[in-house]
Amino acid sequence: MEASKVIHAIYTDDDVLMNAVKKVKAARHHIEEIYTPFPVHGLDKAMGLAPTRLAITSFLYGCVGLTVSIVMMNFIMIEDWPQDIGGKPSFSYIENMPAFVPIMFELTVFFAAHLMVITFYLRSRMWPFKKAENPDPRTTDDHFLMEIAVHGDENELTNLLKETGAVEINLIDKTH
């Protein structure tokens, strides 16, 4: 069953990797995943990945934080326990809003940041005590690994990867 075989091509330079990705995609091979020790600018575009929608969720989380801050301050400072602080009575939220702007800003940022971290971890399926899915520990230090599905002639694909500058090429059977 050839669909379960993948080739792991190891590279030692990010520029060589970027050129290799472009050549492999031009040859119409499917790149399953790329493991890198640091983010490589433009790699997502070269692989043809769709843009992320995490920025939209961040904006929505910020809106939730702003709403929570407004409702919280209106309840606490105007309805539940109004106080005359420095001769400024709490008749309405709008009259006192300039004093509440720092709290509104901080809660907007707080909600956006914390909920984005949780969303990122859930979306990436990275929860506590999860075993790492990294196929080669060297990719956490100084190597780059391209995982390509084998569909057809593996010798042709191996030769293409050698031409692109791969320093190591391994055929892996994913059924085990």
**Model confidence pLDDT, tens digit, residues 69-109:** 999 999 998 888 888 777 777 788 888 888 889 999 999 99
Give me the numbers of helices (H) and strands (E) for the chain, helices first please: 5, 4
> What is the reported pLDDT for 2?
46
CATH class belonging to 2-37+142-173: alpha beta
Taking 50 as the pLDDT cut, the residues of the chain under it are 1-2
> Considering the entire predicted model, what is its pTM?
0.70
Q: Which has the closest alpha carbon to 68: 101, 106, 113, 107?
A: 107
Q: Where in the chain is the domain with CATH 3.30.70.120?
A: 2-37+142-173
